[in-house]
A = this chain, B = another copy of it.
Amino acid sequence: MVVKLTDVAKKAGVSATTVSRVINNYGYLSQKTIDKVQQAIKELNYQPNSLARSLQGKNTQLVGLVFPTMRVPFFAELVESLETKLFEKGYKVILCNSANNKEKEREYLRMLGANKVDGIIAGSHNLGIDEYENFELPIVSFDRFLAVGIPIVSGDNFQGGYLAAQTLLEDGCKKIAIFTGANNSNSPTNQRLNGYLHRMKEAALTPFTFRISSRYSARLKGLDIQKALQTEELDGIFCTDDFTAILTLQEAQKLGIKVPEQLKVIGYDGTQFVRESFPALTTVAQPIDDCATLLIELLCKRIKNKEQQLDDLYTLPIQLIKGTTA
């Protein structure tokens, strides 16, 4: 016979609500009441729902969010959007900043697995984490290839790179460079470079690709940018993130290069914070809210049905936001 909550309540001489409170450690309870209820639970060998649920493989209503950092407004806004939409569906989120640290990311995956979140949404930069290959839980990825079978949601990176180059060409630029991270993975993000290269080829112009490590501090990035600006007489620069674009504007100003007269600059990401703080910056805006909605929809499908067939890649349209820098 299955022992019920009401049996515990009867044995302990308290209400069912009180038993529930003891089990869930919620509300005002005297130590005497807690002791009585725990004694009854022990004597009846009662298994509360939380355990029953997990033994039946039911949901914990927790989702792990694995992203590199909150210091980059793009990730902060994506995480906030995910958190808001997941909350509406009754999920809470465990925030995991992988921080360019493979070991931390691995440790988090282990912890999330052991604590049985219902699923994971990951947008980490760390490559070569085998744990993703065989992970038992449903995972969806933002903009990164993690493992075969893990669907990826991305803004249209190729189109974004193409559109940025196109815009600079229409502005009359001839020496157009790209400042991009030193990521060599086969992740969709790299398509920004490919879109740029494709448009440059169409225009029969020489591409200038500068790798600026995303792991560098602002100061080191600034030095790399300064060097690029000094060695080549560039008249257009496409930066594959807004922060690099902001640093480029700073370095141009230091060197007395006038924007947009002598140099045009386009960024990438277009977060609300950057658009409001730097309205002058022309940038390719990612569809943050749409990405969040789709990531959650796909994850929920996989939570409902582990074997749910999904595409490898879902690409959402990007948008050019015109400021005055290009």
Q: Which residues on A are within 8 Å of B, measured CB to CB?
A: 24-28, 38, 41, 45, 47-48, 50-51, 54-55, 57, 62, 65, 69-73, 76-77, 79-80, 83-84, 87, 92-97, 99, 104, 107-108, 110-111, 113-116, 134, 136, 218, 243, 246-247, 250, 272-273, 276-279
Contacts and interface: CB of A to CB of B under 8 A. Distances in A.
B79 A71 contact: no
A24 B80 contact: no
Contact of A71 (B96, B111, B272): B272
A57 B79 CA distance: 32
Contacts of A104: 87
A80 B111 CA distance: 18
B79 A99 contact: no
A38 B50 contact: no
Given A24-B116, A83-B97, A277 B47 contact: no
B114 A24 contact: yes
25 contacts: A24-B113, A25-B57, A25-B114, A26-B136, A27-B113, A28-B136, A47-B51, A48-B51, A50-B54, A70-B70, A70-B76, A70-B77, A70-B79, A71-B77, A71-B273, A76-B76, A79-B95, A83-B96, A84-B97, A87-B108, A243-B273, A243-B276, A243-B277, A277-B277, A277-B278
Contacts of A107: 87
Contacts of A247: 276
Contacts of A50: 51, 54
Given A95-B95, A111-B92, A218-B276, A41 B55 contact: yes
A187 B103 CA distance: 39
Given A45-B47, A70-B77, 17 more contacts: A25-B57, A25-B113, A26-B113, A26-B136, A38-B55, A48-B51, A50-B54, A70-B80, A71-B272, A73-B76, A84-B97, A87-B107, A92-B111, A93-B95, A243-B277, A247-B276, A250-B279
Which 6 residue pairs of A and B lie closest in terms of their CB atoms, listed nearest first?
A218-B276, A70-B76, A95-B95, A76-B76, A70-B80, A26-B113
